[in-house]
């Protein structure tokens, strides 16, 4: 009896990208029961060219039982691709950032976000199953008319980075540059991630308490204008030294996180928020702004600031975590427990079960 064929499609695949990692984890689980690959319009780097196939090589509809579309933004070529498909479609929804956050400074990107939302509307009638990363994302997907949405953070593996060996060169460099230690943040350099608030928070903290704590930001800059603005703003905030690590390998990311004194997140919008959980999994205390799906994801495992928190409250929180030993150890313990709790839910196998049933 022929095995089912279930493939996943992405707009872009890159190492370190959360959605890419989740798709690959689901693929690995699916391959236990069916033929499965991940296809992408763009595959960044040799690793992705090995792990993922070119979308132009996607098989015909007759030879595919189910196509899983990972939705997080729109792109015309992907829209055209999906419109041509005749097989069953599944949606894995990772949240589309509201376009209002970008319309002023990047209208083209805002248009891509709106296109992604239109794609969801257009695909609704052909979608046989919808999976959302979080309750927050499920509520968002419902606004497009989707029903019976399964809430499973597909392919999410909190302990993903735990087995990575240390990069000692990075540890030495960071130790020399930041003798008092550093705070780490992980995420793409995008406006809704509020990178400027990360810098402001450390600037205010160091100014008030003379902490001389550094900041390391791991993540690729997707929008040049915002990156330039952040770079110039950093020069204005004299009380914080910031290392922009850019795109990093899993080993480097793991090292940066484990070498940090704490993790900080000030994003205004997240559909799931994976990096704080990965930090918790490795025993790093986490402080995050409680926007969108963040509180749902981190639970009691992090210090969750109000959704409208600014750099002053964040600065006080950083100081508290770094100087209140009892609280810091309590936070580390709770974070570790939360990561293990999420891991135990085995989202990859649960997602694979749902997709296999839908493909029948």
Cβ distance to other proteins smaller for residue 166 or 329: 329
Tell whether residue 200 is a contact of other proteins (CB under 8 A). yes
Cβ distance to other proteins smaller for residue 94 or 338: 338
Tell whether residue 239 is a contact of other proteins (CB under 8 A). no
Cβ distance to other proteins smaller for residue 116 or 335: 335
Site string for other proteins, 138-177 (x = CB under 8 A): ----------------------------------------
Question: Which of 305, 352, 356, 359 contacts other proteins by CB under 8 A?
Answer: 305
Question: Which of 41, 229, 346, 354 contacts other proteins by CB under 8 A?
Answer: 229
Question: Which of 41, 313, 346, 354 contacts other proteins by CB under 8 A?
Answer: 313
Question: Which of 63, 83, 105, 177 contacts other proteins by CB under 8 A?
Answer: 105
Give every CB contact of residue 310 below 8 A, 6+ residues apart in sequence: 197, 200
CA distance 200 to 198: 6
33-52 residues in contact with other proteins (CB under 8 A) are none
Question: Which of 144, 226, 256, 263 contacts other proteins by CB under 8 A?
Answer: 226
E strand spans, 191-313:
214-218, 242-246, 262-265, 286-289, 303-305
**Sheet (strand 262-265) strand order:** 242-246, 214-218, 182-186, 262-265, 286-289, 303-305
Cβ distance to other proteins smaller for residue 113 or 318: 318
CA distance 30 to 36: 6
Taking CB under 8 A as the binding criterion, the range among 41-49, 196-204, 261-269, 352-360 that sits at the site for other proteins is 196-204
Give the number of C-alpha atoms closer than 13 A to the C-alpha of residue 327, restricted to the C-beta side.
Answer: 13
- At which residue do the structure tokens 């915002």 appear? 226
Cβ distance to other proteins smaller for residue 121 or 228: 228
SS3 track for 236-251: HCCCCCEEEEECCCHH
Question: Which of 153, 311, 335, 347 contacts other proteins by CB under 8 A?
Answer: 311
325-344 residues in contact with other proteins (CB under 8 A) are 326-327, 330
CB 71 within 8 A of CB 112: no
Burial 244-265 (b: 16+ CB within 10 A, else e): bbebbebebbbbbbbbbbbbbb
| Shortest Å, Cβ 310 to other proteins | 4
Closest CA to 357 of 99, 152, 90: 90
Question: Which of 35, 241, 250, 316 contacts other proteins by CB under 8 A?
Answer: 316
- Classified as helix, coil or strand, 218 is strand
Tell whether residue 307 is a contact of other proteins (CB under 8 A). no
Cβ distance to other proteins smaller for residue 203 or 243: 203
- Classified as helix, coil or strand, 4 is coil
Instruction: Catalog residues that contact other proteins under the rule CB under 8 A.
Output: 105, 196, 200, 203-204, 208, 225-226, 228-229, 232-233, 236, 300, 302-306, 310-313, 316-317, 320, 326-327, 330
């Amino acid at each position: 009896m022929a095995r089912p064929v279930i493939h996943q499609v992405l707009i872009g695949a890159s190492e370190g990208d959360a959605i890419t990692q989740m798709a690959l984890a689901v693929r690995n689980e699916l391959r236990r029961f069916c033929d499965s690959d991940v296809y992408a319009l763009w595959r960044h780097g040799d690793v992705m060219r090995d792990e993922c196939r070119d979308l132009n090589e996607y098989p015909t509809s007759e030879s595919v039982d189910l196509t899983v579309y990972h939705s997080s933004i729109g792109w015309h070529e992907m829209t055209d691709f999906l419109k041509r498909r005749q097989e069953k479609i599944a949606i894995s929804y990772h949240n589309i950032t509201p376009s209002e956050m970008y319309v002023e400074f990047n209208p083209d990107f805002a248009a891509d976000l709106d296109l992604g939302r239109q794609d969801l509307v257009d695909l609704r009638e052909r979608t046989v199953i919808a999976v959302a990363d979080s309750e927050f994302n499920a509520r968002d997907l419902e606004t497009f008319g989707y029903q019976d949405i399964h809430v499973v953070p597909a392919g999410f593996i909190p302990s993903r980075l735990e087995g990575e060996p240390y990069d000692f060169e990075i540890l030495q460099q960071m130790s020399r540059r930041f003798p008092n230690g550093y705070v780490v943040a992980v995420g793409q350099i995008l406006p809704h991630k509020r990178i400027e608030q990360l810098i402001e928070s450390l600037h205010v903290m160091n100014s008030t308490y003379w902490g001389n704590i550094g900041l390391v930001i791991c993540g690729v800059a997707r929008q040049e204008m915002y990156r330039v603005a952040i770079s110039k703003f950093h020069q204005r905030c004299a009380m914080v030294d910031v290392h922009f690590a850019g795109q990093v390998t899993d080993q480097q990311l793991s090292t940066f996180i484990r070498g940090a004194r704490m993790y900080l997140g000030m994003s205004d919008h997240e559909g799931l928020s994976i990096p704080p959980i990965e930090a918790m999994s490795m025993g790093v205390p986490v402080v995050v702004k409680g926007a969108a799906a963040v509180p749902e994801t981190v639970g009691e495992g992090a210090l969750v600031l109000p959704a409208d928190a600014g750099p002053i409250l964040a600065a006080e929180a950083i100081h508290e975590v770094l100087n209140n030993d009892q609280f810091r150890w309590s936070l580390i313990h709770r974070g570790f427990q939360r990561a293990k709790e999420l891991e135990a839910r085995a989202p990859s196998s649960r997602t694979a079960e749902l997709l296999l049933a839908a493909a029948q």
